[in-house]
Amino acid sequence: MGCPKRCVQVFSDYKAHLTVLPSQIEIIEEIEQDNLEHAYDYSLNLFKLHAKSFYFASRYLEEKERRAFAALYGFCRLADDFVDEINLEISEIDKELDILKDMTSGLAKGKTYNHPLFLAFGDTMIRYKIPVRYLHELIEGVRMDVNLDEIKTEKELEKYCYHVASTVGLMMCHIWGSTRRDTLERAADLGHALQLTNILRDVAEDYDNGRIYIPLETRELFRVTANEFELREVRPNFQRLIEHEIHRARTLYARSEVGIPDLPPAGQFTVKVASRVYASIMSEIEKMDYQVFKKRAIVPKWKKIWIAYRVRSEYLREKKAYERKMADGIRQIA
């Protein structure tokens, strides 16, 4: 049996992932190749539409890798949408997340489902041997988010960042075939840094959604109260708090750079551009005098292009070195 008609129809609607619940998705017996290609096209369009910085950074990847990353992004986006995009009671969301967790176990065993994100990511998961535990940890991170109003400790924040962000970096490493333990540790550092950057950029939006991600113990250390969030005021101590978190994120970015040379050249380019564009968000926060309640820090397009141009020269050098290394290896085998 091929992919049912409803599976094909959903390809034209790039917001379908916001409205289709896991409990509404069905197993299918086999996939027609055209439907699999359409599923990857769907994921790539979603990637381009909603992840502009990462899509921009992926320009030097081989097409099959770019499509795999698009499938990964699409699945992560679907999971993340349970936090703010789904209008259900928490108990119902918990049930849907349980179903989603079971479905990822099914994907790991080769099961296929009649939704493009599941078709594309299931194929990616099998093709690149992505461990299902990362998907389970990601889903538990979403569950943490759904039930969260404020984070209490630094340790709790670190755990949260691992589940919702570092797991994605670990899966990316599997797509690139770079799975040494220390490489994975540095990838986890980058995920942590990216999530901290999100938290700093989205302070106002998150508070409006009833959440404070900067830990209570850190806020207490800087004598910042919830009242300052309510009043949307950046007083001197609030600024010191943001400066402290920026320093912590930059330390993680620096540590993550150590693992980037372990990736293939196009992977290095992609990660460097994405990392440096995202890190620039913190520079934008500094430029606007830390007024995170007045506007959202955004990296202008010209700066993204400038970062990519600078990284491109590094990429070309690394590509030549990588190709020489591969050629030497082939000669030694011969």
Contact (CB, 8 A) for 168 and 138: yes
In a domain, 138, yes or no: no
In a domain, 120, yes or no: yes
In a domain, 140, yes or no: no
Contact (CB, 8 A) for 192 and 165: yes
In a domain, 99, yes or no: yes
Residue 94 shares a structural domain with residue 12: yes
pLDDT score of 149: 93
**pLDDT tens digit string along 265-318?**
889 999 999 999 999 999 999 999 999 999 999 999 899 889 988 898 877 777
**pLDDT tens digit string along 195-252?**
999 999 999 999 999 999 999 999 999 999 999 999 999 999 999 999 999 999 999 9
Write out the H or E segment, with its range, that includes residue 28.
strand 27-28
Q: Considering only CA atoms, which of 261, 123, 269, 248 is closest in space to residue 180?
A: 261
**Burial label, 212 (beta-carbon count in 10 A; 0-12, 13-18, 19+):** middle
- The one-character DSSP state at 153 is -
Q: Which domain holds residue 154?
A: 148-309
pLDDT score of 1: 38
Q: Cβ atoms within 10 A of the Cβ of 312, count?
A: 15
Alpha-carbon distance of 217 to 237, in angstroms, equals 14
pLDDT score of 54: 81
Q: Cβ atoms within 10 A of the Cβ of 56, count?
A: 18
In a domain, 137, yes or no: no
Residue 79 shares a structural domain with residue 155: no
Write out the H or E segment, with its range, that includes residue 261.
none
Q: How many domains does the chain have?
A: 2
Q: Considering only CA atoms, which of 272, 259, 102 is closest in space to residue 184?
A: 259
pLDDT at 176 over 60: yes
